[in-house]
C-alpha cells in the first residue's frame, strides 16, 4: 500500500476530476482525505497500486508531491487512548507522523518521516496487542 500526497486547487470540481481520472484508470482509493490549507487542497490517499495512481494523476496534470510507504494498524476502538498511546510510542522513538487517516477497513494509516523506525514501533505495538489478546482469550 502507498500513500500519495496530492496537491489540488481549492475550488469546486477539483476533487471530482481527481476521482474521475482515477476511475478511468481503474484505480481504487483505499482510504484517505482532503483538507483545505492556506487556500490549497492537500490530499493524502491510500492506494494498493501507488505507481498506477501516480501515473494516472500525473498524466492528467494533477501534482503528486510524494509517494510513501505506510504503516497500518488496527486500534481497539472500544479502548480510549489508543491514538495517544501509539502516537506517543512513535514520538518516543523519534518518529514524526506526517499524515494519519483511516482506510475503508477502519484501520489506522500512518505516514511517517522515518519508515524503518516507525515500522519497529508498529511491529512492537502489534506484538503487544497479540499478547494481550492471547492472555484475555
pLDDT tens per residue, range 19-73: 999 999 999 999 999 999 888 999 999 999 999 999 999 999 999 999 999 999 9
| The three three-digit cell numbers of residue 38, written as one number | 492556506
Is residue 71 within 8 A of residue 112, CB to CB? The reply is yes
Q: Fold identical between 2-69 and 71-136? A: no
**Residue 101 in contact with residue 32, Cβ under 8 Å?**
yes
**100: pLDDT confidence band, cut at 50, 70 and 90?**
very high
- How many whole angstroms separate alpha carbon 82 and alpha carbon 75? 6
Q: What confidence tier does 135 reach under pLDDT thresholds 50, 70, 90?
A: confident
Q: Report H helices in the chain.
A: 14-24, 50-59, 82-92, 115-136
Q: What is the pLDDT of residues 68-96, one digit of tens each?
A: 999 999 888 788 998 999 999 999 999 99
CATH class of 71-136: alpha beta
Q: Mean pLDDT over all residues of the chain?
A: 93
Quote the pTM value. 0.89
| All structural domains of the chain with their residue ranges | 2-69, 71-136
**What's the topology of domain 2-69?**
VC0802-like (3.30.2130)
Query: Does the pLDDT of residue 118 top 90, yes or no?
Result: yes
Res 133 pLDDT > 80: no
Amino acid at each position: 500500500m502507498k500513500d500519495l500526497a496530492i496537491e489540488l486547487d481549492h475550488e469546486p470540481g477539483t476533487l471530482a476530476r481527481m476521482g474521475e481520472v482515477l476511475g478511468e484508470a481503474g484505480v481504487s482509493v483505499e482510504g484517505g482525505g482532503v483538507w483545505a490549507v492556506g487556500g490549497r487542497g492537500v490530499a493524502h490517499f491510500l492506494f494498493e497500486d501507488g505507481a498506477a495512481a501516480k501515473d494516472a494523476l500525473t498524466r492528467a496534470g494533477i501534482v503528486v508531491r510524494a509517494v510513501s510507504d505506510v504503516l497500518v494498524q488496527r486500534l481497539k476502538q472500544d479502548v480510549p487512548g489508543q491514538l495517544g498511546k501509539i502516537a506517543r510510542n512513535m514520538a518516543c522513538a523519534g518518529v514524526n507522523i506526517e499524515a494519519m487517516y483511516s482506510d475503508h477497513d477502519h484501520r489506522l494509516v500512518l505516514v511517517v518521516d522515518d519508515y524503518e523506525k516507525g515500522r519497529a514501533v508498529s511491529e512492537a505495538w502489534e506484538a503487544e496487542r497479540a499478547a494481550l489478546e492471547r492472555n484475555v482469550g
